[in-house]
């Protein structure tokens, strides 16, 4: 099992709009790819960064599902995120393995 973590630092002024969009649009679109078995959305409480920091986590059963997601779906979904919140967020992604 793999954990795909996306950390987002969003400007304070855009945080509410981003959160609603993530919950209603983006996360459902990612889950509709059927490449992940579960997800969770967390708010970082002790972030040293300006703005609001969130972690969106998706669980994939195997590397093949994750790679298919990255090759087929991620470019368009990430482009949507960047265009909707252009210059208002920073995102970085990490892939981890459960041990």
Local confidence pLDDT in tens for the 99 residues of the chain: 999 999 999 999 999 999 999 999 999 999 999 999 999 999 999 988 889 999 999 999 999 999 999 999 999 999 999 999 999 999 999 999 999
Domains of the chain by range and CATH? 2-97 (3.30.70.100)
Q: Are 14 and 43 in contact (CB under 8 A)?
A: no
State pTM to two decimals. 0.94
Report the Cα–Cα distance between both ends of the chain, in Å, rounded: 9
């Amino acid at each position: 099992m793999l954990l795909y973590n996306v950390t987002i630092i969003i400007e304070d002024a855009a945080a509410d709009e981003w959160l609603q969009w993530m919950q209603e649009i983006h996360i459902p679109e990612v889950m509709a790819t059927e490449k992940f078995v579960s997800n969770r959305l967390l708010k970082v409480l002790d972030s040293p960064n300006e703005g609001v920091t969130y972690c969106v986590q998706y669980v994939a059963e195997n590397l093949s599902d994750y790679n298919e997601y990255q090759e087929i779906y991620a470019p368009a979904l990430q482009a949507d995120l960047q265009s909707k919140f252009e210059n208002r967020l920073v995102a970085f992604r990490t892939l981890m393995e459960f041990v």
